[in-house]
Amino acid sequence: MMGNNGPTDDVEEKEHFQRIVNAFRYYRSFSLQRLATSEAYVSSLPSHHQTLLTSYRSHLEDIRTCVEHNYEIIKLITADVATLFENVKHDAGQVKSKVHPTMSDMEKVQSTLKQIVRDWSKDGEEERSACYNPIIEEIELNFPPAQRPSEQVQILVPGAGLGRLAFEIAKRGYSCQGNEFSLFMLFASNFVLNKCQGVETFRVYPWTQQFVNTLSAADVTRGSSFPDLDPSSLPRHAQFSMAAGDFLEVYTEASTWDCIATCFFIDCANNIVSFIETIYKILKSGGVWINLGPLLYHYSDIPGENSIEPTYEMVREIIQGIGFVIEKERTGVKTTYSQNVRSMLKYEYDSVFFVCRKP
Ligand SMILES: C[S@@+](CC[C@H](N)C(=O)[O-])C[C@H]1O[C@@H](n2cnc3c(N)ncnc32)[C@H](O)[C@@H]1O
């Protein structure tokens, strides 16, 4: 379901695809390079400093081992992405100079590893219950199986990340589609959802790239096993899919969905109004939009990107102006996002949670 509108788009799409594959492949040398720079600096210091830095040196060695382990996971994530999308064939074989990953791509590889912990490890359980449980509870309240067979309830999760929320909804019997446009997320969710069998069969070390605000070496090199449940354990009749592509381009058909569940998503738009308008359009009349998250406005500080940043009060006006009726609302919902719980610096969002109905 990747957009594929013409020859130019096709070339751009292939280059983009290649750039993301390259970013994953570059992870190892990029990370080892960073360690080598620190090691070289230590070696240049007076020898009595070097003696005092003995544990630090061996810590860098341990980080190197973690990077190697992460790279094994990355190799699995990218193993057969060339055939991931039915309508576009990609050549994932070579690293072409034209499509070198950017610094931001490399950060995204690292955040993909953290996202695995958020969505698919026991270590992410607390974070997930704060973010996903209020949404799931609301779905169950609005669509009790006694009223209508769950598989008839069509639920869309735009900006699905690594797919755990959509998976949990499908696990409860609803028909659920996750939508995602980031290839980082799509490659990794494809690996977890389609290639992992069994429980805690892999291990990832996502905090090795955090060089600051660390209390102990063990905090930095600790790993998380995944997946915490077997992704292939969905009941055979479960209706679950992941659709690739831009939410605004993929979902154009009016009155299609009974429920749209957004988690940490609506602030990913250049123009939040277009997200809300699309959500309204594609919901059936009587359908509900359930949202939880902050207003981080992802494009706010990105050079060359358009962005508007209405406050939550203004977002409420937009929601109601478009025609929604706000039925429930809570502010100050304590949530975190891919939080390193052992870091000396932590972020916590006072998220908003709301439920709106299309009359
Ligand atoms: C902050 S993440 C949240 C992921 C997930 N919902 C969670 O709570 O872990 C937002 C996700 O939305 C995706 N996204 C942003 N804009 C999108 C768009 N226009 N269409 C599809 N996905 C989009 C991003 O790639 C990212 O994975």
Ligand 1 centroid–CA 13 distance in Å is: 19
| SS3 track for the chain | CCCCCCHHHHHHHHHHHHHHHHHHHHHHHHHHHHHHHHHHHHHHCCHHHHHHCHHHHHHHHHHHHHHHHHHHHHHHHCCCHHHCCCCCCCCCCCCCHHHCCCHHHHHHHHHHHHHHHHHHCHHHHHHHHHHHHHHHHHHHHHCCCCCCCHHHCEEEEECCCCCHHHHHHHHCCCEEEEEECCHHHHHHHHHHHHHCCCCCCEEECHHHHCCCCCCCHHHHHCCEEECCCCHHHCCCCCCEEEEECCHHHHCCCCCCEEEEEEECCHHHCCCHHHHHHHHHHHEEEEEEEEEEECCCCCCCCCCCCCCCCCCHHHHHHHHHHHCCEEEEEEEEEEECCCCCCCCCCCCCEEEEEEEEECC
Given this model, what pLDDT does residue 235 score? 85
- Is the pLDDT assigned to residue 323 strictly greater than 80? yes
- Structure confidence at residue 135 (pLDDT): 98
Ligand 1 contacts CB of residue 180 (under 6 A): yes
With a 6 Å cutoff on the Cβ, whether 263 touches ligand 1 is yes
Answer yes or no: is the C-beta of 168 below 6 A from any ligand 1 atom: no
Closest atom of ligand 1 to 293 CA is 8
pLDDT confidence of residue 254: 98
pLDDT score for 162 = 98
Dist CA 147 CA 127 (whole Å): 31
Residue among 126, 168, 182, 190 whose CB has most ligand 1 atoms within 8 A, to mutate: 182
For residue 161, pLDDT beyond 80: yes
Joined tokens for residue 13: 């799409």
pLDDT at 181: 97
Domains and CATH numbers, the chain: 97-357 (3.40.50.150)
Range name among 9-18, 61-70, 96-105, 160-169 with the lowest pLDDT average: 96-105
- CA–chain centroid gap for 310, Å, is 23
**Interval 115-129 mean pLDDT:** 98
Whole-number percent of the chain with pLDDT over 90: 88
Per-residue pLDDT tens for 8-47? 677 888 899 999 999 999 999 999 999 999 999 999 999 9
CB 279 near ligand 1, within 6 Å: no
